[in-house]
Copies of this chain bind each other. A is one copy, B any other.
Amino acid sequence: MTDLIELLREGLPAEAVLTDPDVTGAYAHDMASFCEAGAPAVVVLPRTVEQVRHVCRTATALRVPVVPQGARTGLSGAANASDGCIVLSLVKMDRILEINPVDRIAVVEPGVINADLSRAVLEKGLYYPPDPSSWEQCTIGGNIGTASGGLCCVKYGVTAEYVLGLDVVLADGRLLRTGRRTAKGVAGYDLTRLFVGSEGSLGIVVGAVLALKPAPPEQLVLAAEFPSTTSACDAICRIMERGHTPALLELMDRTSVRAVNTMGNMGLPESTEALLMAAFDTPDPAADLAAVAELCTAAGATEVVPAEDAAESDMLLQARRMTLPALEAVKGVTMIDDVCVPRSRLAEMIDGTAAIAAKYGLTVGVVAHAGDGNTHPTVCFDASDPDESRRARESFDEIMALGLELGGTITGEHGVGVLKREWLARELGPVGVELQRGIKQVFDPLGLLNPGKLF
């Protein structure tokens, strides 16, 4: 242990090596606070690629596990420490190195905060779409590690689609450059994409070339109330079937709506069973919203209210973004599922979730990136009640089983982490698991990077 700290200090400034347990303890876990987490031996906060290489070389020399971290806003425990590990926090590597409007790329360090990048590129007329709910806190490195999504994915896709190239420090300290800064490129196997969503288990991302889009026109939002989730899902299917391209298409069930009203006094309509929000950032969003309003009414909406301006639109989105904290406030703790199903199966997924909640006598609020079929059934429970905690975990698992049954995945955008580790093999099957373990072995033969996550 003394060896470890001494060796780390040889290549890091004093303030970049934290050993006080009161301080390092704060780095033990991400937002999935109830997931198991160990006590780190040390937390390091490098500012340069060379310092990260030093950390990895030291870890390899002493066979100490390394757990990379961004802002720890993840929801699956993927950034949770293991006992005696080096927590490698990349938040101090937070420079935006380049924004190029002709090539439509940004070159960034991993600790850049998502919203900071979004604002910086917007000043140049550009747009970095991925927008996880934690965008004011979360880092680009963390977004890459978990392959984060957000509200805009239904039109713009997830983080993976915006990562063109990476600089990666391997477990043994070697430097790897993957991908490119060009719009296209197919030379060799796509290692870039392999790192996206790998939860720090293959290497440490120390730089990224990101693709940007032109900034779209300001979006306009519509809210529609439905007498049942089935009719709301029917509207979603009609909207997508007709070829509309909403910039977001979100669903909140009654439980979520009530929780938000309780927390934020937002004045959302409590009598509704399902609230649908659609937005367009097209040249004529009002016309698109009118067409969608018609489809909502045809599907049974009892009330359809297009926002009149950007301020009203923002209010609606603010209410939507408040859902997870609002549901957390119901019982103190939540376990958030992230099941994504084909959107044609969305109604079955939501109805099935309600049945599971009833079976276990629990409150499960559902908020969904409905246009993507990506649901977040949020199990509310009192962590101090062992029986309720057990029922919470069982219902959480049963919701994943239902997702797989409906042709879906256990995680649309939050990642596997600790929370869904047992479920990964069920989704991938034995051949997939064997190959994925083989890949882990190629990149990290000593198994030092984020052990206990993924493979």
Instruction: Name A's B-contacting residues (CB within 8 A).
Output: 100-105, 125-126, 146-147, 149, 153-154, 157-158, 160-161, 170, 174-178, 180-191, 193-194, 196-198, 202, 214-215, 237, 240-241, 243-245, 282-284, 340-344, 369, 371-374, 407-416, 420, 424, 427-429, 431-432, 435-436, 438-443, 454-455
Contact = CB atoms under 8 A, between A and B. Distances in A.
A245 B214 contact: yes
A438 B194 CA distance: 14
A333 to B, nearest CB: 24
Contact of A181 (B101, B193, B241, B342): B342
B147 A183 contact: no
A176 B371 CA distance: 28
B243 A185 contact: no
Contact of A188 (B183, B371, B432): B432
B443 A175 contact: no
Nearest to A149: B184
B102 A176 contact: no
Contact of A186 (B244, B371, B411): B411
Contact of A415 (B105, B186, B407, B435): B186
A441 B258 CA distance: 54
Given A102-B237, A188-B428, A194-B193, A176 B344 contact: no
Nearest to A161: B161
A188 B431 contact: no
Contacts of A241: 101-102
A100 B407 CA distance: 14
A175 B431 contact: yes
A182 B237 CA distance: 14
A185 B409 contact: yes
B435 A443 contact: yes
Contacts of A182: 340-342, 372-374, 407-409, 412
Question: A-B pairs with the 6 shortest C-beta distances?
Answer: A214-B243, A438-B442, A185-B409, A193-B193, A183-B372, A184-B412
A409 B343 CA distance: 37
Contacts of A414: 186
A153 B341 contact: no
Nearest to A406: B182
> In this complex, which of A170, A185, A408 has the most chain B Cβ atoms within 10 angstroms of its Cβ?
A185
Contacts of A100: 342, 344
B374 A184 contact: yes
A104 B240 contact: yes
Given A101-B240, A105-B342, 6 more contacts: A100-B344, A146-B186, A157-B161, A188-B424, A190-B196, A193-B194
A198 to B, nearest CB: 6
Contacts of A101: 240-241
Contact of A177 (B191, B429, B440, B443): B429
Contacts of A175: 431
B184 A153 contact: yes
A412 B177 CA distance: 17
B340 A184 contact: yes
8 contacts: A101-B240, A103-B342, A182-B412, A184-B369, A184-B373, A191-B432, A214-B243, A214-B244
B344 A103 contact: yes
Contacts of A443: 435, 438
A429 B174 CA distance: 12
Contacts of A282: 283
B196 A416 contact: no
A427 B185 CA distance: 11
Given A194-B190, A214-B243, A442-B439, A170 B409 contact: no
Contacts of A197: 186, 188-190
A223 B106 CA distance: 31
A177 B435 CA distance: 11
Contacts of A183: 153-154, 340, 343, 371-374, 412
